[in-house]
Chain A
Amino acid sequence: KAGVTQTPRYLIKTRGQQVTLSCSPISGHRSVSWYQQTPGQGLQFLFEYFSETQRNKGNFPGRFSGRQFSNSRSEMNVSTLELGDSALYLCASSPLSGGAVGELFFGEGSRLTVL
């Protein structure tokens, strides 16, 4: 069974640009979450989608947005990039629906560098 796939793995952007990251969850998983990982702040929750709806949102500015498609694939977008947006962006999928707790399966991340 294929794991969570994130593309691109590495990318370099300049301040003011925008970026779109893609995530393909494990087949059958309907919940997709996004996290930002930086050395200073660690892993921080961005948002979570289930059945194309954003169910949960973290404390990030409106420049960070996301969406989920009917096939559960998800994208996140960061507009007007800032130097501080340089980070590893991790996507995770979960097989459980509803309110049940469950294991998150993480991808290897997209490493964004903003110059």
Chain B
Amino acid sequence: EAGVAQSPRYKIIEKRQSVAFWCNPISGHATLYWYQQILGQGPKLLIQFQNNGVVDDSQLPKDRFSAERLKGVDSTLKIQPAKLEDSAVYLCASSLDFLSGEQFFGPGTRLTVL
């Protein structure tokens, strides 16, 4: 079974530029999560989708971050414009549904904002 796929693996941009990350969850998984992991810290949830609907985006900085999951499968996370403090690893995870105890993580996208 293929795992959660993410791209790109690494991205370096200058502040005020835009960037987008892509995630393909495990086939059949209805719930998709985006987490932000700043160096030396545990991941923090940004947004949770159930199929193509948003379940929780309370921690998403909506003035600069946006995310979508239009067909209930792949998802993109965008930052526009980026700030220095957005430097982090962005992790995508999926689970069978939001009642499932198991979340499976992708390898992450490491973003460096200069």
Q: Are these two chains actual partners, yes or no?
A: no
Binding site for B on A (CB under 8 A): none
The interface of chain B, by Cβ under 8 A from chain A, is none
